[in-house]
Structure 1
Amino acid sequence: MASNLPHERKAAITAALAGGWVADAASLGVHWLYNSDRIAEVGGQTPEFLPPRADYYTKGFGYFAHEGKAVGDVSHYGAATRVLTDSLLANKGILDVRDYQRRFRAFFGPGGQWRGFIDNPTRITLENFNTIEREAVEQAQSAMPARLTEKQKRVLVQKVMPYTRRLSGDQLAQPVRDAISLTYQQKEVQEAGVYLAETIDRHLVLESGADDMQLPAVSKLPPLIASYCGNQNLLEVTEAAVRVTNNKDDAVAWAKCAALLLDRLFRGERLSEALEAAITEAPDRKSLEHARADSELDGVGAGDTFGRTCYLHEAMPVIFHILSHARGYQEAVRANIHCGGDSCGRAWIIGPAMAAIHGVGGESGIPLSWLAQVTDAATIYRDIESLLSA
C-alpha cells in the first residue's frame, strides 16, 4: 500500500514513524506520574530519557508500571505498535485483521514475548479471544457427525486448535488432515476434523476488543496510517484495526480523528488544515477547539484543564494543544512529559505529527541523539523503511 505514496513524502513519513518510537521511549521514565511539580523536580527542563525508577513516585500521585525497564525502552504502547507493524509487514502493508489478532494474542498472551505492564483493553481483549474461541468450538462441536464418539470429538478439538490459532481459510485443511492422520486413519474422522477446524474458523469474530475508550485505541495507528496514507478506505481500515482491541464507538470516533490528523500531515498538508480536518471526526469538537485557542504552549496547564489520564476525551485535547503551540519536536515531547499522566500514550500521536512536520535534526526536528537512544533502534528503523517500501 505504502508504495503508492509520492516519493517526496516517504522521508517525512519515515521520520514520523520513528518519531513515535522516540517520543514513547523519551517519556517512559516518568510515565503515569501525575504531579507535574514532581516531574520538574526529578527531570528539570530536560525530562526525557530518565531511567524508570520507583522513587520518583514517592511524592505526588502516580503509578510506577515499568519495573525492569531501562533507558531507551518503550512502553506497552510501543510493544503493541510493533505487533501491528509486524502484521502489516507480513501482509505487504495490508491490514489482515485475523493475522493481527493472532499476533496480538501470541505476543501478549501466555507464553508470549511481552514482559511488562498489561493495560485494561489488552487484558480484556485477551480474555475475549478465549471467550470467542470457546464459543466457536461449542458451535462447531454441535454440528459434528453424531457417529463420532465423545473421545474422538475431544481429540479432534485438541488436534485442530493449534492450527485454528495460526491459520485460516484454505490454509487449514491439509495440515489439520495430516495432524489427525497421526492418530486416526479413517477418512471420515479426518474430514470431520477438517470440518471442525473450518467451522471454528468461520465463527472467530473480528471485533474482539474491550468496551474501552483509552489511548490504546489510537496509539498503534501510525504504521497503519502510513500504509494507507491517502487511501479512500483509511477510516474503514482504522475502525477495523481499532475494534480488535477497543470495541467501542467513541474509541473508534477518536481514532478516526487521530487518523485524519496524521494522514493529512503525512501527505504534507499544513498543521492548521490537518487539525481542522481531524476535528470533524471528533466526538467532542468543542474541547479540541478550546485546546487550540490557547495563546501559548502550556502542557501543564492543558493537563490541568482537560485531564492527564488515559481516556481519549482527556488525552486528545492535550495532544491538540501541544501540537497547536509547540515550535518543534523536542519542545512538544518535553511539554507532553511535563504535563504528566499518560505521556507515553499521547506520545504516539504527538511524536509522529511533529516529526512529519519538522523531520530529523536541525533546531526543530528529532534530535539525532534521541534517535540513537531507543532500544533496538536499528531493527525498528529498518522495519519502518521496509513498511514504507511494502
Structure 2
Amino acid sequence: MNHESKSADNSRIINALAGGWVADAASLGLHWLYDSQRILEVGGQSPEFLPPKADYFKGGFGYFAHEGKQPGDVSHYGAATGVITDSLLASEGALDIRDYQRRFRAFFGPGGRWQGYIDNPTRVTLDNLNTIEHNAIEQARSTTTTELTDKQKRLLVQKVMPYTRYLSGDQLAEPVRKAINLTYQEKKIQDAGVHLAETIDRHLLPESGADDMQLPAVSKLPPLVASYCGQSNLMAVTEAAVRVTNHNDEAVAWARCAARLLDHLLQGEPMSAALDAASQEAPDPQSLSNARSGSSLDAPGAGDTYGRTCYLGEAMPVIFHILSHANSFTEAVRANIHCGGDSCGRAWIIGPAMAAQHGVGGEHGIPLSWLARTTDAPAILADIEALVNQTWAPKEQNHEQPGCPAH
C-alpha cells in the first residue's frame, strides 16, 4: 500500500471513530424516550444535543437515565468505548483481554471514574469478574501443598493479586517472587506464592460477560474494528471482546454482523456492498433485507416495525434501514433520534458508518459544529488519531507497589 493510500485509509477510519462519539453525544438528550411524536414535539427537526431533562419524558413513554449530564456528554456506551480504546492504546492496538477486563472493572466498578447509568451487561460483568477472581483464589489456595499458616496464605494472596491483574503466564514468577521476598525469604513460601499466582492466572476466565443480547455487545466495536481492519482474525477478536461483557451466542452473531459492516466501510467500500457482506453474518438476515427495502427514510416507521429497545434483534434492522436510506451524517443521526428508544446504542454503528462514507464537514459529513459540541473532543480525537496512526505512548508500568495488598 502506497503512502497516499494509507493516509486516505487512516483519515477515513479517524472520521468513522469520531462519528461514533458525535452521534452518541448528539442523541443523549432524548435517549430512551420511546414516543416519536413526543420527540418531535420536544426536539422538532433538529433534536440533537438537547440537555437531558426529565420534563421531556412527561407525556410520552420512556426512561430518563441521564440526570446530571450536560449537552455534549456521551452515554454509558461512549464511556465503555473509551475503556476499550484505552486498552487498545496501552496494548499497541492489540486486544489484551486481561487488560481490558481490568480497565473495565476499574472504570465502572466501586471507586471508578464513571458517574452515570450502569446497564445490565455492565452490572453483571462486574459481578462476574469478582466471582471469577474469588473462585480462582479459592482454587489456588486449595491446591497449595506447602504447609502455611492462615496468615501466610492471606498475605500471599494479597501479594500476588496485583500481578495477576496485570501479568500472565511466564511474566508472573519473577515479580511475584520479588514481592514475596520483601516479607518472606524462605524459598518454599516464595514457591507457594508463585503457585498461587500461576493457578489464579489459569482460572481467570476471558468470558466474563452477562448472558445478554443487547446493544452493549456491539457499541464498543468501532475502535476494535479500526485496530484489526482488513485482518483475517477480525471475527475471532470480535467474539473474544464481546464475550468480556456479553457472553451470549446471539450477541456474538450480531456483533460479527456489525464488525463486518464497519470493516468493509473502513476499507472504503460502498454502503450497499458493506450491508450485503454484513447481512451474511446476521442471525436474522431476512429482517435486515426487509429493513433495507423501500425508497424513503422512515426511522419512526422502522421502529414501529422492528422495535426501539436495546435488543439487537430490534436495533440492527433499524440501523440497516437508516444506513440504507440516509444521505448524510446529519440526516442519519436525526432520523435515529426521531426513531426513539435506544438511540445512543444504535448511534455507535450509525455514526461510524455514515462518517466512513461521508467524512467530516461539507454537506454530507459530520458537521464541524457538532464535533466542537462534543464534551472532551480534543482528548477524544487525540486518542483516535493515536490509535489509528499507531503513535503509541510508552507502555504503562504496574503502579501497584510490590508487596502491597490487593485492593
Q: Which amino acid aligns with 1:101?
A: Q
What is the correspondence of 1:264-279 to structure 2 with a 5 Å cutoff? 264-279=264-279
Native 8 Å contact 1:5 1:229 kept in 2: no
Rounded to whole Å, the distance in 1 between the matches of 2:4 and 2:358 is 23
Query: Counterpart of 1:388 in 2: which secondary structure?
Result: helix
Aligned to 1:255: 255
Post-superposition shift, 1:162?
A: 2.5
Rounded to whole Å, the distance in 1 between the matches of 2:69 and 2:181 is 46
TM-score using structure 2 length: 0.93
Native 8 Å contact 2:10 2:389 kept in 1: no
Rounded to whole Å, the distance in 2 between the matches of 1:94 and 1:4 is 25
Mean Cα displacement is larger for which, 186-195 or 258-267? Answer: 186-195
Rounded to whole Å, the distance in 1 between the matches of 2:255 and 2:4 is 23
Matched, 1:29 2:29: yes
Post-superposition shift, 1:322?
A: 0.2
Rounded to whole Å, the distance in 1 between the matches of 2:6 and 2:185 is 56
Rounded to whole Å, the distance in 2 between the matches of 1:259 and 1:4 is 25
Rounded to whole Å, the distance in 2 between the matches of 1:165 and 1:91 is 15
Aligned to 2:338: 338
Mean Cα displacement is larger for which, 340-349 or 287-296? Answer: 287-296
Aligned to 1:94: 94
Aligned to 2:244: 244
Change (3 A) 1:279 1:4: farther
Native 8 Å contact 2:213 2:248 kept in 1: yes
Alpha-carbon deviations, 1:93-139, whole Å to 9, x = none? 11111111111111111111111111101110111101111111111
Post-superposition shift, 1:167?
A: 2.6
Native 8 Å contact 1:124 1:209 kept in 2: yes
Native 8 Å contact 1:361 1:367 kept in 2: yes
Runs of 4+, deviation exceeding 4 Å: none
Post-superposition shift, 1:276?
A: 0.6
Where structure 2 has 5 or more consecutive residues not aligned to the other structure, the ranges are 391-407
Native 8 Å contact 1:294 1:321 kept in 2: no
Rounded to whole Å, the distance in 2 between the matches of 1:4 and 1:20 is 25
What is the correspondence of 1:207-226 to structure 2 with a 5 Å cutoff? 207-226=207-226
Aligned to 1:145: 145
Post-superposition shift, 1:9?
A: 1.4
Aligned to 1:131: 131
Matched, 1:106 2:73: no
Alpha-carbon deviations, 1:317-369, whole Å to 9, x = none? 00000000001000000000000000000000000000000001111100000
Post-superposition shift, 1:177?
A: 2.4
What is the correspondence of 1:1-390 to structure 2 with a 5 Å cutoff? 6-390=6-390
Where structure 1 has 5 or more consecutive residues not aligned to the other structure, the ranges are none
Native 8 Å contact 2:99 2:165 kept in 1: no
Post-superposition shift, 1:4?
A: 12
Rounded to whole Å, the distance in 2 between the matches of 1:329 and 1:211 is 33
Native 8 Å contact 1:261 1:277 kept in 2: yes
Change (3 A) 1:123 1:250: same
Post-superposition shift, 1:151?
A: 2.3
Rounded to whole Å, the distance in 2 between the matches of 1:5 and 1:20 is 23
Query: Alignment identity in percent?
Result: 73
Rounded to whole Å, the distance in 2 between the matches of 1:158 and 1:7 is 48
Post-superposition shift, 1:163?
A: 2.4
Query: Counterpart of 1:327 in 2: which secondary structure?
Result: coil
Mean Cα displacement is larger for which, 128-137 or 165-174? Answer: 165-174
Q: Which amino acid aligns with 1:289?
A: S
Aligned to 2:394: none
Query: Counterpart of 1:6 in 2: which secondary structure?
Result: helix
Native 8 Å contact 1:95 1:237 kept in 2: yes
Rounded to whole Å, the distance in 1 between the matches of 2:8 and 2:389 is 13
Native 8 Å contact 2:302 2:318 kept in 1: yes
Native 8 Å contact 1:292 1:324 kept in 2: yes
Change (3 A) 1:140 1:4: farther
Rounded to whole Å, the distance in 2 between the matches of 1:242 and 1:202 is 20
TM-score using structure 1 length: 0.97
Rounded to whole Å, the distance in 2 between the matches of 1:106 and 1:279 is 36
Alpha-carbon deviations, 1:238-292, whole Å to 9, x = none? 1111111001110000000001111111111111111110000100111101100
Post-superposition shift, 1:42?
A: 1.1
Q: Which amino acid aligns with 2:272?
A: S
Rounded to whole Å, the distance in 1 between the matches of 2:190 and 2:351 is 52
Mean Cα displacement is larger for which, 7-16 or 261-270? Answer: 7-16
Q: Which amino acid aligns with 1:246?
A: N
Q: Which amino acid aligns with 2:46?
A: T
Post-superposition shift, 1:295?
A: 2.1
Residues matched between the structures, number: 388
Query: Counterpart of 2:132 in 1: which secondary structure?
Result: helix
